[in-house]
Structures are given as structure tokens and as C-alpha cells.
């Protein structure tokens, strides 16, 4: 059932890929880091695999888990991902959503995973792709050795940063590799990014562009991290993989949610949903 669902989702992405308006851009980026390299053990340790669990009911049924998006561990109880990964999807609930963490090989038999207690999405706009960010509160605390820092509201990404994830060999085709892939991409100015997309696609405030060369994110990398290193050596979550036109399309960058612009929203959700407080059902920007 889960395999059929995943194939159906991929078919939907493929049929939308050539549409003209931003409302018809595939919600999920194609799923492999294009022209990247295998991440070494200990690298990109903040990367998580977001997986759906199916089956498991009854004495003879085993639970199966399938990767469908990425995400980033930002502290011992919270993961940042893309809103479009979990927004208004009736088949995704906190009961069947799991986070696989602390691994470069998500298919390893001993890979650690933990359930999701609650899902929070920003005021995501499916038509414009604005506010494509979500928070997942984990059921239990995990090791923070792999967490990446959240940027302050004043942070502005620049230079070369790293995008990572698990996914296809090319857009809407191939297979998802077990090993985590990573690639370097260059952050563009908003003006340069808008000029490359032209008048058909608007780059809204809260969106960040990177790439446009031979490396890029792709479907299944959705929700994953764009991490930049500061002059002091601190790794900062600059962006969340959001949308794009194909994968590694010449001159066309990938579009990310600019995490710094959601600093207040992130802090508010986390503060309002500590273990000692009653959880809220949603949170708007």
C-alpha cells in the first residue's frame, strides 16, 4: 500500500512538472542531490529522513517505513521540514510519521528512529509556495550532537552552502539511494534569482535561491537542509528545500524557505509547546 502511494505521488509530480504557473510547480522537489557526493559518517549529522509507517496491525503483519521527505534536527525535540511535506495530507498523522536520524544510511537495520508527537505548519500557500516551513515535535528527546543552529532573524546567507538528502538519479526517475548525498551550491541574490526565473515565477520574501549550476536538490530532498558555515565555523540552517523547475536545470537555481525570516514563528511554536504546557493545534506567521 505504501509503495503504491509513493508511486502515485511520483506520478502526480511528473504530470505537473512542465506547467507554466508557480501554482503548478511540483510540490516536492525531485528526490536526489544531483551531481553530489556521498556524505561521510558524521557529516551532515543534522539530516533526518521523514518516513511514513504502514502495516504493523495484527499478529502476522510487519510495519514498513518509506522515506518521502527530508528534515533537519535543530535541538533534542524539534525538527524543521517543509510545510508541503505534511500540509493537508490526510494519510499523514503523528501516529504514522517517524523520523530516522543519526545515520547516512537510512536502510541500515539498526538505524534509530522516533515517532512524531505533533505537527505544526506555518501559513503555507499552495498557490504561491510561500511560508513553506513546518516544525515536528518528537515524542522523546534525542541526542543533540548532530543538531544544527537556527539562524537569528538578522542572518543573511551568502557564499557556498551545502544541501543534502536522499533521492533519485534524475528528475522523476531512477531510484532513491540508501546513502545520504550532499552537494555545494552558491547562494544568489534575490534580484539575480528573480531575473533567472523571469516573470512566470515570483520569488517572494521568505524565499532563498541557491544553485543554478550542475548541482541541485531534487524530489524527496524536499524539507531537507541548506546549511551554511559562518566565519566562526558555526553551521547554520539557512534554508529548507522547497521547490524548483526540474533538477539541476541550467542557470535555474533551487528555491528554499529562508529560515531566518521565520525566527519569531519558530521560537513561538517551541515556547508554546514545551512539555509543561498544553500543545496548540497550529500556528500562523
Q: For 154-167, what is each residue's pLDDT tens digit? A: 999 999 999 998 86
Residue 145 burial (C-beta neighbours within 10 Å; 0-12, 13-18, 19+): exposed
Q: Is the pLDDT at 150 greater than 60, yes or no?
A: yes
How much is the pLDDT for 174? 55
How much is the pLDDT for 175? 58
How much is the pLDDT for 181? 86
The x, y and z cell numbers of residue 155, run together, are 542572518
Question: Hey, which CATH number is domain 2-16+45-147+264-272, 3.40.50.2300, 2.40.10.10, 1.10.510.10, 1.10.3720.10?
Answer: 2.40.10.10
Residues 205-218 have a mean pLDDT of: 81
How much is the pLDDT for 76? 94
How much is the pLDDT for 269? 98
Q: Is the pLDDT at 272 greater than 70, yes or no?
A: yes
Q: Is the pLDDT at 62 greater than 70, yes or no?
A: no
Q: How far apart are CA 194 and CA 118, in angstroms?
A: 35
Map out the domains of the chain as residue ranges.
2-16+45-147+264-272, 160-261
Residues 208-227 have a mean pLDDT of: 82
The x, y and z cell numbers of residue 13, run together, are 509530480
pLDDT tens per residue across span 96-118: 999 999 888 877 778 899 999 99
- Which residues have a Cβ under 8 Å from the Cβ of 110 and sit 6 or more positions away? none
Residues 54-71 have a mean pLDDT of: 71
Enter the pTM of the model: 0.81
Rank 116-125, 209-218, 247-256 by mean pLDDT and report only the highest: 116-125
Q: How far apart are CA 224 and CA 227, in angstroms?
A: 10
Active site residues: 84, 132, 222
161 within 8 A of 187, measured Cβ to Cβ: yes
Residues 156-183 have a mean pLDDT of: 76
Least confident interval from 127-131, 187-191, 221-225, 278-282: 278-282
Q: Which CATH code is given to the segment(s) 160-261?
A: 2.40.10.10
Fold match, 2-16+45-147+264-272 / 160-261: yes
Buried b (16+ CB within 10 A) or exposed e, 80-109: bbbbbbbbeeeebeeebbbbbbbbbbbeee
Q: How far apart are CA 251 and CA 268, in angstroms?
A: 37
Q: Where are the beta strands (DSSP E) in the chain?
A: 37-38, 47-54, 64-73, 78-81, 97-100, 113-121, 134-138, 160-165, 181-186, 207-210, 225-229, 235-243, 254-258
Higher pLDDT, 277 or 205: 205
The x, y and z cell numbers of residue 154, run together, are 538578522
How much is the pLDDT for 278? 40
pLDDT level of residue 39 (50, 70, 90 thresholds):
low
Q: How far apart are CA 50 and CA 193, in angstroms?
A: 29
* Site of grid cell 533534542: 76
How much is the pLDDT for 209? 97
Q: How far apart are CA 65 and CA 7, in angstroms?
A: 14
215 within 8 A of 36, measured Cβ to Cβ: yes
How much is the pLDDT for 110? 83
184 within 8 A of 162, measured Cβ to Cβ: yes
Tell me what the pLDDT averaged over the chain comes to: 79
Residues 2-19 have a mean pLDDT of: 32
Residues 136-151 have a mean pLDDT of: 91
131 within 8 A of 123, measured Cβ to Cβ: yes
Q: What share of the chain has pLDDT > 70, as a percent?
A: 72
Amino acid at each position: 500500500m505504501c509503495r503504491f502511494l509513493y508511486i502515485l505521488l511520483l506520478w502526480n509530480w511528473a504530470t505537473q512538472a512542465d506547467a507554466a504557473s508557480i501554482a503548478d510547480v511540483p510540490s516536492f522537489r525531485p528526490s536526489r542531490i544531483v551531481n553530489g557526493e556521498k556524505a561521510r559518517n558524521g557529516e551532515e549529522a543534522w539530516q533526518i529522513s521523514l518516513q511514513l509507517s504502514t502495516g504493523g496491525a495484527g499478529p502476522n503483519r510487519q510495519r514498513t517505513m518509506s522515506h518521502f521527505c527530508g528534515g533537519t534536527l535543530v535541538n533534542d525535540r524539534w525538527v524543521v521540514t517543509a510545510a508541503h511535506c505534511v500540509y493537508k495530507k490526510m494519510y499523514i498523522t503523528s501516529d504514522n510519521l517517524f523520523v530516522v536520524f543519526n545515520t547516512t544510511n537510512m536502510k541500515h537495520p539498526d538505524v534509530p528512529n522516533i515517532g512524531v508527537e505533533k505537527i505544526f505548519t506555518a501559513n503555507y500557500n499552495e498557490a504561491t509556495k510561500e511560508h513553506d516551513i513546518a516544525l515536528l515535535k518528537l515524542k522523546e528527546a534525542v541526542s543533540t550532537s548532530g543538531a544544527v543552529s537556527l539562524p537569528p532573524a538578522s542572518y543573511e546567507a551568502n557564499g557556498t552552502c551545502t544541501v543534502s538528502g536522499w533521492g533519485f538519479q534524475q528528475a522523476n526517475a531512477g531510484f532513491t539511494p540508501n546513502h545520504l548525498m550532499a552537494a555545494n551550491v552558491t547562494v544568489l541574490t534575490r534580484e539575480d534569482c528573480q531575473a533567472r526565473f523571469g516573470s512566470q515565477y515570483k520569488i517572494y520574501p521568505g524565499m532563498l535561491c541557491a544553485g543554478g549550476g550542475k548541482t541541485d536538490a531534487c524530489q524527496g530532498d524536499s524539507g531537507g537542509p541548506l546549511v551554511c558555515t559562518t566565519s566562526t565555523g558555526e553551521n547554520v540552517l539557512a534554508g529548507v528545500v522547497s521547490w524548483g523547475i526540474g533538477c539541476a536545470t541550467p542557470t535555474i537555481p533551487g528555491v528554499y524557505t529562508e529560515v531566518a525570516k521565520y525566527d519569531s514563528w519558530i521560537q513561538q511554536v517551541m515556547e508554546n509547546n514545551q512539555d509543561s504546557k498544553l500543545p496548540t493545534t497550529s500556528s500562523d506567521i
